[in-house]
Amino acid sequence: MNKFPRNHWYAAAWASEIGDAPVGRRILDEPVVLFRGGDGKVAALEDRCPHRLVPLSMGTVVNGALQCGYHGMTFGADGQCVRIPGQERIPPRAVVRNYPIAERYGMAWIWMGEAERADPELLPEIPHFDDPDWGKITDGYQHHPSNYLNIVENLMDPSHTTFVHKQTIGNPAAANAGVQMEKTDDYIVAYKWLPSSPPSPMDMQIKDFGDGKVDRGQFFYFEVPCVSRVDIITMPAGLERTEENFNKGLRNNSYKFLTPETETSTHFFWMHLRNYNVGDDAWSERMRGVFEKTFNEDRDIEMAMQESQNLLGVRQMVGLEIDRAPTIALKMIERLVKDENAAAETVAA
């Protein structure tokens, strides 16, 4: 039985992480090794030498192939053994599992499910990633020692910011009322729309809104099973809510890509896109620090929750009204896992 949805692209590593040395990483509770093959592209193999089961990530990359650190068996990017020191014959079972990888947005994405279903068309869409009118902060990574469902809940729940993020983005006046929701088969969004208010001093510092008022939007998207996008919009008041108009003011798109590591830990990749202060590296670095601090505040809560959950063997005691969007997101993930397990059972039968 699978515990995680498998037939999806998950963030495996930032491309910048994969240099000359192999990188071992547990993904969906499986040991994976990432390295660059002969063509310079990122390859992913099971991180286990078929000889004595030593992790291949302890080895070295030699001419685009991965050489085991114990006796030097060497594997190509496709997982086939290409060399065994001291013997000519390559046994048929001298092969390791290869996982499909797609590189986009400076990220190596891995497909842990059925390889024939790994379609690059299914990669998440990140508008404006290559847009010269937008600035970005990439390569964000944190390790969160908590089940990824705890993190999905956190990202779909704006109400915690007042309490958890007192030192960073928390705003004591952040009212919880007025959260609306929309859902399709692929994503859920919880959002607030606050029409016609004066721009904040911070907004005014970045952009001149004149004497006019602004409309504000906060959209918390979750694309199952692993992409969160928070879209924060401040635009001149009274315009229609279209993509084009959203970009007429200040816009922040904050992405998190959640990759389950084990049942109690998660790789938390993040990036941020904005349509202002483009090319201002000092601003980017300052904001990187603020984001890191904010996500660490979430991480501390998630880690403590996980410890309680381990102790008691339950995830939650009481349901609240603020749980609506997170609960739906979790149900969507549960359905994916159920469907995949049912399909696997049918094939097995």
Is the distance from CB of 105 to CB of 126 less than 8 angstroms? yes
Please write down the long-range contacts of 274-278, taking CB distance under 8 Å and 24 or more positions apart.
274/134, 274/135, 274/136, 274/250, 275/128, 275/133, 275/134, 275/135, 275/247, 275/250, 275/251, 276/135, 276/206, 276/207, 276/250, 276/251, 277/135, 277/206, 278/132, 278/133, 278/134, 278/135
Q: Which residues is 220 bridged to in the sheet?
A: 190, 230
Q: Which does 83 bind (CB under 5 to 8 A by kind): Fe ion, ligand FES, none?
A: none
Q: Which does 54 bind (CB under 5 to 8 A by kind): Fe ion, ligand FES, none?
A: ligand FES
For ligand FES (CB under 6 A), the number of binding residues is 8
**Tokens (6 digits) for 6:** 């498998």
Among residues 52 and 143, whose Cβ is nearest to ligand FES?
52
Q: Which does 68 bind (CB under 5 to 8 A by kind): ligand FES, Fe ion, none?
A: ligand FES
CB of 26 to ligand FES, least distance (A): 19
Among residues 18 and 49, whose Cβ is nearest to ligand FES?
49
End-to-end CA distance of the chain: give it in Å, rounded: 14
Cβ neighbors of 211 (< 8 A, separation 6 or more) are none
Q: Which does 241 bind (CB under 5 to 8 A by kind): Fe ion, ligand FES, none?
A: none
CB of 64 to ligand FES, least distance (A): 18
User: Which position has the token pair 């114990």?
Assistant: 70
Among residues 56 and 336, whose Cβ is nearest to ligand FES?
56
Is the distance from CB of 9 to CB of 111 less than 8 angstroms? yes
What is the C-alpha to C-alpha distance for residues 324 and 179, in angstroms, rounded to an integer? 10
Is the distance from CB of 275 to CB of 250 less than 8 angstroms? yes
Among residues 52 and 338, whose Cβ is nearest to ligand FES?
52
Footprint (CB under 5 A) of Fe ion, residues 276-335: 298
CB of 50 to ligand FES, least distance (A): 8
Which x/- pattern over 44-83 shows residues binding ligand FES (rule: CB under 6 A)? -----x-xx-x-------------x-xx-x----------
3 binds ligand FES (CB under 6 A): no
Among residues 246 and 295, whose Cβ is nearest to Fe ion?
295
Among residues 65 and 250, whose Cβ is nearest to ligand FES?
65
Q: Which does 71 bind (CB under 5 to 8 A by kind): ligand FES, Fe ion, none?
A: ligand FES
What is the C-alpha to C-alpha distance for residues 126 and 134, in angstroms, rounded to an integer? 12
Alpha helical stretches, state H, the chain: 148-155, 161-164, 201-206, 243-246, 281-312, 324-348
What is the C-alpha to C-alpha distance for residues 326 and 328, in angstroms, rounded to an integer? 5
CB of 232 to Fe ion, least distance (A): 13
Among residues 261 and 298, whose Cβ is nearest to Fe ion?
298
SS3 call for 262: strand
Q: Which does 73 bind (CB under 5 to 8 A by kind): Fe ion, ligand FES, none?
A: ligand FES
Q: Which does 298 bind (CB under 5 to 8 A by kind): ligand FES, Fe ion, none?
A: Fe ion
286 binds ligand FES (CB under 6 A): no
Is the distance from CB of 266 to CB of 258 less than 8 angstroms? yes
Q: Which residues bind ligand FES (CB under 6 A)?
A: 49, 51-52, 54, 68, 70-71, 73
Q: List residues binding Fe ion (CB under 5 A).
A: 298
